[in-house]
């Protein structure tokens, strides 16, 4: 339990750091809640497909119809398993510590979670993934960033558009760079400096899929990327679209320590 005295003992910077941490957690729960409702709907649709084709297979005794029914059931069941794997990946499978992280896999899983929504708004997705090394990241947090950016991009294109996702290693080899580009409404130059501020939003509350409007998405993204010692950059042109680029450090395995070397290293550390 915290007491008033405890708070007084904390510096303003410490209190701010605690609040920022809580903000990221709260935003994550909101994002998770929104996704649970989207994916539950989608899962239910897949179950309906399975039920209907299973009934069709039972009703029709001819081999051709039964084959078709089985194929449909199989395809739907595979999709259902992709959905549950993606939700599980987001909800609990990844650790909360910095680990070698496969960003391409993480993006693919995020796209599965949003596939239905993107289809509904007639948004096509192009992915250009160069072979990249693992990033040094907390998988859960980076997925939160990716989902926020994808949802913002979707919301910027209410009448459809293109989502172009690029993954490549930086020229100097130090970072893995992810760019999420949309062909949406764009952001006016005078608004651009404010978009990362907490509670800054131009949306009139949640949209038809229950997302958006709090103004916490990008603020949480910035906090997460900064805690990864990464960078986030945005370019936007009104009427043309917006591109967010996040740069994350490449994961470097800790050096293998030979006992003698360890001793000399320890010596170096003591001397420093």
From residue 158 to residue 197, what is the string marking binding to Mg ion with x (rule CB under 5 A)? Answer: ----------------------------------------
Cα–Cα distance, 21 to 195 (Å, whole number): 19
Least distance (Å) from ligand ATP to the CB of residue 211? 6
- Give the binding range for ligand ATP (CB under 6 A) out of 39-47, 57-65, 93-101, 177-185: 177-185
# binding residues, ligand ATP (CB under 6 A) = 22
Checking DSSP bridges between strand 161-169 and strand 241-249, what pairing results, if any?
Answer: unpaired
Among 86, 140, 143, 152, binds Mg ion (CB under 5 A): 152
Query: How many CB atoms are located within 10 Å of the residue 90 CB?
Result: 24
Sign of CA dihedral 205, 27, 34, 194: positive
- Give the binding range for Mg ion (CB under 5 A) out of 37-45, 104-112, 126-134, 215-223: 215-223
Q: Residue 75 — left, alpha, or beta (φ > 0 → left; ψ -120 to 50 → alpha)?
A: alpha
Cα–Cα distance, 72 to 52 (Å, whole number): 10
- Give the binding range for ligand ATP (CB under 6 A) out of 15-23, 91-99, 116-124, 146-154: 146-154
Among 152, 175, 179, 209, binds ligand ATP (CB under 6 A): 152
- Cβ nearer to ligand ATP, comparing 139 with 212: 212
Q: Does 184 bind ligand ATP (CB under 6 A)?
A: yes
- Cβ nearer to ligand ATP, comparing 105 with 203: 203
Structure tokens at 259: 């006992």
Among 57, 133, 158, 215, binds ligand ATP (CB under 6 A): 215
Cα–Cα distance, 109 to 128 (Å, whole number): 15
Q: Which residues touch 132 (CB under 8 Å, ≥6 apart)?
A: 103, 104, 167, 168, 169, 176
# binding residues, Mg ion (CB under 5 A) = 2
- Cβ nearer to ligand ATP, comparing 69 with 118: 118
Q: Tell me whether residue 5 is exposed, middle or buried, using C-beta atoms within 10 angstroms of its C-beta: 0 to 12, 13 to 18, 19 or more.
A: exposed
Question: Could you list the residues that contact ligand ATP (CB under 6 A)?
Answer: 148, 152-153, 156, 182, 184-185, 187, 195, 200-203, 212-219, 242
């Amino acid at each position: 339990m915290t007491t008033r005295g405890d708070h007084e003992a904390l510096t303003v910077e410490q209190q701010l750091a605690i609040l920022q941490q809580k903000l990221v957690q709260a935003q994550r729960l909101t994002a998770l809640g929104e996704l649970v409702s989207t994916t539950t709907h989608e899962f239910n649709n897949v179950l309906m497909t399975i039920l209907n084709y299973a009934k069709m297979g039972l009703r029709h005794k001819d081999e051709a119809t039964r084959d078709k029914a089985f194929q449909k059931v199989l395809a739907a069941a595979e999709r259902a398993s992709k959905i549950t794997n993606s939700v599980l990946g987001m909800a609990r499978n990844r650790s909360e510590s910095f680990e070698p992280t496969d960003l391409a896999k993480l993006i693919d899983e995020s796209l599965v979670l949003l596939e239905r929504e993107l289809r509904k708004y007639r948004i096509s997705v192009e992915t250009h993934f160069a072979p990249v090394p693992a990033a040094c990241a907390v998988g859960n947090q980076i997925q939160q960033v990716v989902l926020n950016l994808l949802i913002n991009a979707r919301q910027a294109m209410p009448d459809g558009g293109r989502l172009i996702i690029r993954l490549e290693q930086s020229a100097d080899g130090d970072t893995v760079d992810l760019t999420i580009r949309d062909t949406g409404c764009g952001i006016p130059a005078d608004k651009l400096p404010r978009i990362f501020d907490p509670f800054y939003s131009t949306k009139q509350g949640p949209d038809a899929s229950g997302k958006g409007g709090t103004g916490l998405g990008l603020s949480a993204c910035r906090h997460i990327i900064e805690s990864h010692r990464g960078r986030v950059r945005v370019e936007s042109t009104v009427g043309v679209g917006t591109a967010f680029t996040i740069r994350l450090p490449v994961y470097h395995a800790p050096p293998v320590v030979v006992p003698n070397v360890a001793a000399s290293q320890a010596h170096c550390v003591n001397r420093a």
